Structure 1
C-alpha cells in the first residue's frame, strides 16, 4: 500500500498525557486532523501526579510551537526552581535559589499542564474510555485498533503515547520495562502552611533532597499549598506484599518506614509519617538501553512508550519534544512514511544518548549528593 499524505491520513494517538496532547495540538494548528484515544473514562478520572519542570531547550520549545508558551508562564512557578540538599538530620548542605528572572525550568503541576493542553484542542478530539487492546492489520496499513470495549477503529497512523506499559509498543518492539530495583513511595501533605508548617519550612518553594546512601527522600512543593514527598528505597518490587501488607494499610507501612528511617532526625521523619491519607507505591521501571526498532510505516512511539528512563527530570520534556518533532514532520513531509522516518532519525539517537547517561540513575537518588547530569536532566521524581 502506498503511504498516504498526512493531510489525508487518519491519525490516531493513543494516550492523553502531555506527549500525546502536545502532538495533537500542534497537528491541529497545522491543519491536520487527529484523534486521541485514552483508557481513562474522563479527564478527571485520576490524579495526574506532582509537579514538573519544563526546560527551555525541549519542553518549552514544544509549547511555543503549540502556541501555549505565554499561557504556560501564567501558570508556572519560577520559584519552584529552588533546590535544597539536606542530610538526614535536616541540616541544609547546599541551596540553589533561582534568580529573579530565571525561567529556564519553572515548575507546573502535571494536572495544570494537562488541562492547558486539553483546553487547547478542538472539541471531541479526545475519546475517553478507549483502552487499547491490540493493533491489527498489515504493517503498510491500514491498521485496526481493537479496544477493550469491543470497538474497532481503522487508521493510517498509530502514535503510541501511552506511557511505560504501552499497548502500542508491541507493534514495533518486543522490549518490556524492567524493574530498576529502586522504589518510590509517595506521601501527600495538604494545607502545609497551616497544618505542616515545619515541613513547609524544610522544603521551601521548590524541591528538597536527602539521602544516606541506602535510603532517601525527595520533597516537592506543588501549587495549592501541597507538598509531595517521595520516599526512595532499594527494595523488591513486591516489598509491600512480602511484608504481609497491602498498599491501603497506611499504619502498617508507616511503622515499617519509621523503622527503616530510624536513624534520621525526628524533624525529617515527620516527612515520612505525617502524611495526609494513604501512601502511593511507585516502583521505578526503565526500558533496556538502547531501545530502538525497525522502521514501521504506520506505527511509531513517543515519550515513555519509546524510551522509559529513571525519573530524573527529562521524561515529560523529552515526550513533548518528541511530540513536537513528530507533528512538524507530519506537517512538512509528503507521506506518513516519510514523516516517521524523519522523526525517528532524530528521536532514536537522542533518546539513546540520554538513556545511556541516565541508565542506573535511580540508584543515584540514594546518594548523599544530588547527581549532576548537566543539561540532560536533574534529579527529580
Structure 2
C-alpha cells in the first residue's frame, strides 16, 4: 500500500506537534508535509509565554518524546501569579515554584522556545516555508486511495498541489481549511457568519519591556518572575516574565469597532502605507493612547506602559462563536485555533490544541493499524471507512473539550472586563471558572459555594474596615 498523503497547514506548535507524532511511527505508511505561510521560523516574534498542563500540553510533549527538551526551557518560577485591581489591591497571590518537584503542574515556556523545540524535531524536508494557503477544494482522487475524497490546495503565487488524502488545518484564527469545512458565508438565523471569527469587544496594544530588571525594576519586582493580571473599569493590564529578562505586556479594554478602524488608519498615515512584517505593528505613539486611558491607575501599573519599548502590536481580540462546530467531512479536518479560536483568559488555547494533535494522531494511527492483515483488495476501502469514522469521533470529542474551555474563557473575560465593579464584585466568579477546569464535577459545587461565601463575607468586612482579601491560592 502506498503512503497516506497528509497535508498539515500551519507550522505553529499544534501543526508541528501533529507532524511529530505521526512521523515517530512507521513512515512507510504515512507521508506528511507541513505548509507554512511565513518564510522562516524567525519571520516575526512568536508572542508571550504559555503554561502547559499535565493532561494536555505536557502529555503531548511526552508522547512526542520531547519532554526532556521542554524541561530545559521550562520556567517553574513562572507559575507565580498575582491578580489585582487598578489600585494594586491584591485578590489572589501565589508565589513562584522553585523546581519541578514543587510545581503546581503548569510550568511556563516561551512560545519561541516551544515552537523551536517542535520545528527542530521534524526532518528538514517536512516543512515548506513560504506557502500561503488561499483555498482548499475537493477533487476526484485517483491512485491507490481512490476511496478518499482527495483535495487540491491552492497557494499564493499560483501554486497548486493535489492528491492529499487528508488535509488538516492548523492555520490559526483565519483558517482557510476551516472555511472549506464551514464556509465563512454560512449563516445562522440571525445572519451571523458562523465560522468567521467575531470581534469580542476588546482591543488595545501588546508590547515588551526589555531587560526589565534594569529598565523597570518596580515592574520586574511586581511580576515576581511570573504574571500579574490587573483589572478595573472594563480594562486590563497583564505583565508576564519572559526567559530573556523582558516582560511581555498587554493592555486591553472595551472598544467599539470604530476605534479599531481609527487606530489602523492612524498607523497607515504614520507608516506612509509602508509594508511591515507584522501588519498590526505600531510605533511609540501607543503610549500616549494608553496613558490617557489608564491615567487613574496605580503608578506601578502605569509604569508597565511608561517603560515599554518604543513599538507595539495593535491587538483586537476575536473568537469563534461559542459552541461552533461543523459536520464531519471525509479527508479534511482542523485542530487548534483553526477549529476553536477562543479568547485567552483561561489559558487553554495551546493546551487544547496540543491535545487535539495527540488525539488526532492516535485516531489516524489506529485506523492504519486496523487495516493490518487485510487483503489488498479490501484494505483501501476499509482504511477509508475506518479513518473517516475515527476522525468524526475525534472531532466530536474535540468539540466537547473545546466548548467547555471556551465557556470558561468567555466566563473569565466577562467576570473581569464586562462586569461593573470588577474585580471586587466578580472575583468569586472568575476563580470559580478557574477552578472548574481542574476539579472533578463532584467537588466543584462545594468549591464554588465556598468562594461565594468567602467573598460575600469579605465584602462585608471590607466595607467596614477596608481590609484586603489577599486570597492566597494553593
- Once structures 1 and 2 are overlaid, which stretch shifts more, 108-117 or 357-366? 357-366
**Structure 2 unaligned blocks of 5 or more:** 141-147, 184-194, 268-279, 369-382, 439-474
Bigger mean CA deviation after superposition, 338-347 or 149-158? 338-347
Asked if the contact 1:85/1:93 (under 8 Å) is kept, the reply is: yes
- Structure holding more helix per residue: 2
1:148-207 per-residue CA deviation (whole Å, 9 max, x = no partner) reads 121111211100000010011111113110000012411210111111111101111100
SS, match of residue 207 in structure 2: strand
What is the DSSP-based 3-state SS (H/G/I as helix, E as strand, rest coil) of the residue aligned with 2:16?
helix
Aligned to 1:282: 315
Shift in CA distance, 173/240, structure 1 to aligned 2, threshold 3 Å: closer
TM-score by length of 1: 0.92
Which position in structure 2 is the counterpart of 1:20? 15
User: Alignment RMSD, CA only?
Assistant: 2.0
Name the CA distance, whole Å, in 1 between partners of 2:58 and 2:282. 40
Task: Specify which of 357, 370, 373 is matched with residue 323 of structure 1.
Answer: 357
**1:55 and 1:375, CA in 2 relative to 1: closer, same or farther beyond 3 A?**
farther
Structure 1 residue 13: Cα displacement = 0.2
Q: 1:280 to 1:364 in 2, by over 3 A?
A: farther
> Which residue in the other structure is 1:88 paired with?
86
For 1:99 and 1:41, the matched residues in 2 are separated by: 38
Shift of 1:94: 2.9
1:220 is matched with 240
Aligned partner of 1:265 in structure 2 is 298
Gaps of 5+ in 1: none
**Does the 8 Å CA contact 1:310/1:360 hold for their aligned counterparts?**
no
Q: Does 1:358 align with 2:367?
A: no
Task: State the 1:8 CA deviation.
Answer: 2.3
Runs of 4+ displaced beyond 4 Å: none
Distance 1:54 1:238, change over 3 A: farther
What is aligned with 2:188?
none
Contact preservation (8 Å) 1:232, 1:365: no
Aligned residues: 372
Task: Give the one of 153, 160, 179 matched to 1:152.
Answer: 160
Tell me if the contact between 2:110 and 2:242 (Cα under 8 Å) persists in the aligned partners.
Answer: yes
Rate the CA distance shift 1:352–1:65 in 2: closer, same or farther, 3 A.
same
Aligned to 1:293: 326
Task: Check conservation: 2:237, 2:301, Cα contact below 8 A.
Answer: no
Out of 310, 316, 339, which is 2:343 matched to?
A: 310
Q: 1:251 to 1:123 in 2, by over 3 A?
A: closer
- Structure 1 residues 199 and 306: alpha-carbon distance in aligned structure 2, compared to 1, 3 A threshold: same
2:318/2:343 contact within 8 Å kept: yes
- Inter-partner Cα distance in structure 2 for 1:220 and 1:121: 29
TM-score relative to the length of structure 2 = 0.75
Match of 2:34 among 33, 36, 39: 36
Return the index of the structure with the highest Cα Rg: 2
Match of 2:119, SS state, is helix
2:252 to 205, 224, 232: 232
Which range moves more in the overlay, 236-245 or 185-194? Answer: 236-245
Rounded Cα–Cα distance in structure 2 between residues aligned with 1:347 and 1:87 = 35
Aligned to 2:150: 142
